[in-house]
Structure 1
Amino acid sequence: MSGEGKVVCVTGASGFIASWLVKVLLHRGYTVHATVRSLKDPNKVSHLLALDGSKERLHLFEADLLEENSFDSAINGCEGVFHTASPVSLSPSATKAELVDPAVKGTLNVLGSCVRAPSVKKVVVTSSMCSVMYKPDPINSTDVIDETWFSDKEFAEETKQWYILSKVLAEEAAWKYAGENRIDMVSLHPGLVIGPFLQPIINFSSEVIRELIKEGKDFMCSPIFNRYVDVRDVANAHIEVFEIPSASGRYCLVGETMHSSQVLKIIGQLYPSLAILEKYKEDLPIVPIFKVSQEKVKSLGINFTSLEVSLKDTIECLKEKNFLSF
């Protein structure tokens, strides 16, 4: 087992990606220090305590993104830190302060704790495709997006896309701080992460799939429905960039780019009883779509799960946890 004898920290461990990351790390033999906002909240901790290996090798810590030094005890003694904690919301009512401050200050607080812990060898930051591809010029179907692309922060500010801005500014701050403090850091940029979820409450991207099924074309125009990746592939990529010494810089994580109308078509074929194809048959255009390069991430040995499998597993999980019935 690759992680035997190694201690790592996962921040924001109760979240969708982080829960899977903790699960796979435990499976690989790692000892995991996991931070959550509240140890008293069963929605944050019950699913983590139920994971195989948790009794022997999972240690939970309370930490707050906005509180300086609050990650020190969790990170102390770890050789790897996976920083996944960051607020997620695309709600129109979410404010700049609610999203940008915890993302930027939280990232700097976690990196500060890493500098104070001489045991830390590598830091993996979970960013997003939001910090790669948000620009004022429309993306063409001939474009291939890769790790050299950066989102336009002025455009995110002008258009009041606070979640996107939070990801751009947090990544920018992280690279600057890592450079100044000689931290070996890697950033991962997943698209819309789907697949089964371990936590008891529905996460943002699973809700996106649920709403796509329920509301369909009301959501079709949003570009967020164009880039998909399975949560299990994202968890594996985090561990690979930590374990492979040569892994460095940024990695785009997108298994498939596809317009939401095509996604609905796949869901309709998987679940004929949903009658999606009847409902939208006049409105399912084949839309040419951009590509996201997989060249760099494939060098880690990551093979992406097919979109059909990811969608089926997402929907089965939504049904099983009573978030969707049909």
Structure 2
Amino acid sequence: MEKKLKCGKCLAGDNKNTHLKRLDNATGNLKLFKENLLDYDSLHAAIEGCIGLFHVACPVAFGDMPNPEAQLIKSALTGTLNVLKACSEISGKRVVVVSFVATVLVNPSWLRDRIKDEACWSDKEYCRTTKAID
């Protein structure tokens, strides 16, 4: 917003966003939307006119989850695909997808002092058998 670009944000909860409204130039340059990323059709109004988008939404669970594959991974994948498809249809120029730390964090084969990069991925089977992310 410092360069006076128009910015938009899809909200998960209204009460956590008051600090955004206090940013410099927010009054004229920040537009807040309340959208459901799992509802593909609802994304068009929020994304229309954007030249770039940061997709940082990721479902997070606390406590026991009987079927994490269906409850977390499927919704994260569907939401991300909906955002990417909508952006491609309205000719957005850039999309940055920010992942969840658990994507690279849990791999017993990765040396602790080695920097995590695009070659480091969590070991899905290890996570399933040890419930490493509970």
**In the TM superposition, what are the counterparts of 1:104-183 in structure 2 within 5 Å?**
104-118=77-91, 120-137=92-109, 139-141=110-112, 143-161=114-132
Larger Rg: 1
Moved over 6 A (4+): none
- SS in structure 2 opposite 1:69? helix
Q: Please give the alpha-carbon distance, in whole angstroms, between the structure 2 residues aligned to 1:62 and 1:100.
A: 22
Contact kept, 8 Å, 1:100 with 1:162, in 2: the verdict is no
- SS in structure 1 opposite 2:41? coil
- SS in structure 2 opposite 1:71? helix
Q: Please give the alpha-carbon distance, in whole angstroms, between the structure 1 residues aligned to 2:86 and 2:72.
A: 21
| TM-score, normalised with respect to structure 2 | 0.79
How far apart are 1:94 and its partner, in Å?
A: 4.4
How far apart are 1:141 and its partner, in Å?
A: 4.9
Aligned length in residues: 132
Q: CA RMSD in A?
A: 2.5
How far apart are 1:113 and its partner, in Å?
A: 0.9
How far apart are 1:108 and its partner, in Å?
A: 1.0
How far apart are 1:144 and its partner, in Å?
A: 4.3
- SS in structure 2 opposite 1:92? coil
| TM-score, normalised with respect to structure 1 | 0.36
**In the TM superposition, what are the counterparts of 1:26-65 in structure 2 within 5 Å?**
26-37=1-12, 41=14, 43-65=15-37
Unaligned runs of 5+ in 2: none
In 2 relative to 1, CA 153–79 (structure 1 residues): closer, same or farther, beyond 3 Å? same
> Which of structures 1 and 2 has the larger relative contact order (alpha carbons within 8 angstroms, sep 6+)?
2
Select between 48-57 and 139-148 the one with higher mean Cα deviation.
139-148
Contact kept, 8 Å, 2:10 with 2:32, in 1: the verdict is yes
Describe the superposition over 1:80-119 as per-residue Cα deviations: whole angstroms up to 9, x where unpaired: 1100111234x2334514422321111111111112112x
**In the TM superposition, what are the counterparts of 1:293-308 in structure 2 within 5 Å?**
none
Unaligned runs of 5+ in 1: 1-25, 164-326
Q: Percent identity?
A: 36
- SS in structure 2 opposite 1:115? helix
